[in-house]
Amino acid sequence: MRLLTGLADRLLNPVEMLPDRAHVVQLACGTGELSLTLARRRPDLRITAVDIDPAVLAVGRASAARDGLGVEFRAMSMAELDLADRSADAVVSRMGLFLPGTAPFDVAAREAGRILRPGGLISIATWSNLAGSPYTRVGLSVLRQILPEGAIPDMEVLFTEAARPGAFERHLENAGIHTIHASWFNWVTEYPDFESWWSYDTGFGPLKALFDSLDARQRDTARRLMTAEIEEHRTSSGGYGMPATARTITGQR
């Protein structure tokens, strides 16, 4: 998840001042890079990384075991967290609260509020809009030039809801989370060559199945179109610097 590494400091800074043995829960952790990063910085914390997909959790567990990091990976839905009320000192999530197939915003916020102790912190990031996510913006543009109309889901609706002013804040307030602060965050992620970007944009997530459906001729066309799409982001080293924009939101129970 090279693209999202640029968000690590922004999301983890609010929780790094927690006391020893504080419990941090990452929602929709994927392979757990954010939790593993926190464990490297604060090995004294108790960190639980949750996701609904056992396959990505297995990758996270393997990484934690390899590096000797104390992160517990658990399979559960954000709609019904198998965690006790007021059992977490902080909740973090990096783009995981509005992905297709996950819990609705209000349900995930309610569960986050339920497991947070009074005074507990929340630190999350959401995409600002379609243009802010190079993964989706570039990938969808390429696919729509190849696949027939109607073959690609309308992901713009999802992004529009995530970017709507106050959308996440309202759900957090309803969940008992206050002292909410939201701000824009911009960063650039470096890809050393076209292949590293191609494998990222086509190899995982909601666009993977669409790229996998392309035949050999269509795939060659996709590569040509994508090369043109990202040319403006080429760096002096021959790689690519892909700009991204997200909203980061913090609050307190």
pLDDT in tens, 221-231: 999 999 999 99
Residue in 138, 48, 44, 42 with CA at minimum distance from that of residue 93: 48
* Structure confidence at residue 18 (pLDDT): 96
Q: Can you tell me the distance from the alpha carbon of 195 to that of 136, in angstroms, rounded to the nearest whole number?
A: 17
Quickly state the pLDDT bin for 71 (edges 50, 70, 90). Answer: very high
41 or 171: whose pLDDT is higher? 41
* Structure confidence at residue 102 (pLDDT): 56
205 or 195: whose pLDDT is higher? 195
Residue with tokens 């839905």: 77
- CB distance 127 to 94 below 8 Å: no
28 secondary structure, DSSP code: S
37 or 99: whose pLDDT is higher? 37
Q: What domains, with CATH codes, occur in the chain?
A: 2-252 (3.40.50.150)
Residue 177 pLDDT greater than 80, yes or no: yes
pLDDT digits (tens, 9 = 90+) for 78-126: 889 999 999 999 999 998 775 545 557 788 889 999 999 999 999 999 8
Helix spans in the chain (H):
8-12, 33-41, 54-67, 105-115, 134-144, 155-163, 167-174, 194-202, 208-212, 216-229
Quickly state the pLDDT bin for 217 (edges 50, 70, 90). Answer: very high
Q: Is the dihedral of CA 47, 60, 50, 152 positive or negative?
A: positive
Residue 1 pLDDT greater than 70, yes or no: no
* Structure confidence at residue 69 (pLDDT): 97
- CB distance 143 to 207 below 8 Å: yes
Mean per-residue pLDDT, 14-34: 94
What backbone torsions phi and psi does residue 242 show, to the nearest 5 degrees?
-95, 115
* Structure confidence at residue 152 (pLDDT): 84
- CB distance 52 to 77 below 8 Å: yes
Instruction: Compute the mean pLDDT over every residue in the chain, rounded to the nearest whole number.
Output: 90
User: HSE (CB half, 13 Å, CA atoms) of 134?
Assistant: 26
Residue in 172, 30, 3 with CA at minimum distance from that of residue 93: 30
* Structure confidence at residue 145 (pLDDT): 95
Q: Can you tell me the distance from the alpha carbon of 240 to that of 127, in angstroms, rounded to the nearest whole number?
A: 20
* Structure confidence at residue 162 (pLDDT): 62
170: left (phi over 0), alpha (psi -120 to 50) or beta: alpha
* Structure confidence at residue 64 (pLDDT): 97
pLDDT digits (tens, 9 = 90+) for 127-174: 877 788 899 899 999 999 999 988 887 777 766 666 666 777 888 999
Residue with tokens 């927690």: 18
Residue with tokens 């179109």: 225
Q: Is the dihedral of CA 136, 202, 39, 104 positive or negative?
A: positive
pLDDT digits (tens, 9 = 90+) for 47-65: 999 999 999 999 999 999 9
- Treating both helix axes as pointing N-terminal to C-terminal, what angle do 194-202 and 216-229 enclose, rounded to 10 degrees? 120
